[in-house]
């Protein structure tokens, strides 16, 4: 058995943050596929009892530890590996600031938008989609401006703040109905920088369950 197990599925950008971090730090890890689409597995009592009371992926298993919330997982792995780790109080606070903004307002809106538009059956209400799209455009512009003056979110080197913010940003443009890198040029260059890191993989190559039957 690998040192780390990650409960995840290919379509989850929230889980991608953790999977990418594991790969970039060269961890010995394996995915445990969670059947979200056919079985709604995270919503089952078994999953909530045995895996995560919050009913979500990702969940990282390390020995007797089970950690959920990608921000917690990224922090744990950064502290253990010493990689992508914010250094000193100022960087730690700054990373936390961007990770919270990301969880709530960047990928926190982008994930549900893509889900309701492309994956949900039936698709989401157009008024809800329009609300989310307005917030997404605004918040991606904030990230783009931040990246206009530095190569990575905190500065010269990549940290867990970057690995949180990339969550949904490598998924195909047709899944969103708009092209994020084409519309945000600093985000585009930053995504290429992260893609160039040794160990980078696309979410569909890193986590199981892509191309589900009937989709």
Ligand X SMILES: N[C@@H](CCC(=O)N[C@@H](CS)C(=O)NCC(=O)O)C(=O)O
- If one asks whether residue 12 binds ligand X (CB under 6 A), the answer comes out as yes
| Beta carbon nearer to ligand X, 9 or 190 | 9
Q: Which of 168, 181, 158 is nearest to 84 (CA)?
A: 158
By CB under 6 A, which span of 25-33, 50-58, 139-147, 180-188 interacts with ligand X? Answer: 50-58
DSSP H stretches of helix in 106-168: 107-114, 126-146, 160-165
Q: Which helix (H) or strand (E) holds 183?
A: helix 180-183
| Beta carbon nearer to ligand X, 66 or 182 | 66
Minimum Å distance from CB 86 to ligand X? 17
Report the Cα 141 to chain-centroid distance in Å.
Answer: 18
- If one asks whether residue 55 binds ligand X (CB under 6 A), the answer comes out as yes
Q: 103, 163, 165, 191: which one contacts ligand X (CB under 6 A)?
A: 103
Q: Which of 164, 158, 171 is nearest to 206 (CA)?
A: 171
- If one asks whether residue 43 binds ligand X (CB under 6 A), the answer comes out as yes
Widest Cα–Cα separation across the chain: 49
Q: Which residues bind ligand X (CB under 6 A)?
A: 12, 14, 42-43, 55-58, 69-70, 103, 111
């Amino acid at each position: 058995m690998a040192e780390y197990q990650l409960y995840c599925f290919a379509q989850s950008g929230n889980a991608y943050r953790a999977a990418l971090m594991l790969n970039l730090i060269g961890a010995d890890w394996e995915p445990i596929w969670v059947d979200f689409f056919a079985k709604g597995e995270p919503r089952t009592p078994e999953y909530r009892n045995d895996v995560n009371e919050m009913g979500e992926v990702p969940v990282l298993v390390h020995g007797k530890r089970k950690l959920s919330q990608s921000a917690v997982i990224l922090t744990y792995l950064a502290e253990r590996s010493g990689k992508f780790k914010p250094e000193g109080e100022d960087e730690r606070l700054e990373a936390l600031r961007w990770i919270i903004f990301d969880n709530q307002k960047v990928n926190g809106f982008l994930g549900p938008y893509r889900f309701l538009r492309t994956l949900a059956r039936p698709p989401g209400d157009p008024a809800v989609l329009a609300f989310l799209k307005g917030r997404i455009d605004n918040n991606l512009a904030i990230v783009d401006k931040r990246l206009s003056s530095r190569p990575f979110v905190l500065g010269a080197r990549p940290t867990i703040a970057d690995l949180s913010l990339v969550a949904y940003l490598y998924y195909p443009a047709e899944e969103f109905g708009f092209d994020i890198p084409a519309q945000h040029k600093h985000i585009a260059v930053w995504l290429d920088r992260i893609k160039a890191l040794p160990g980078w993989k696309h979410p569909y190559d890193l986590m199981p369950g892509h191309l589900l039957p009937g989709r």
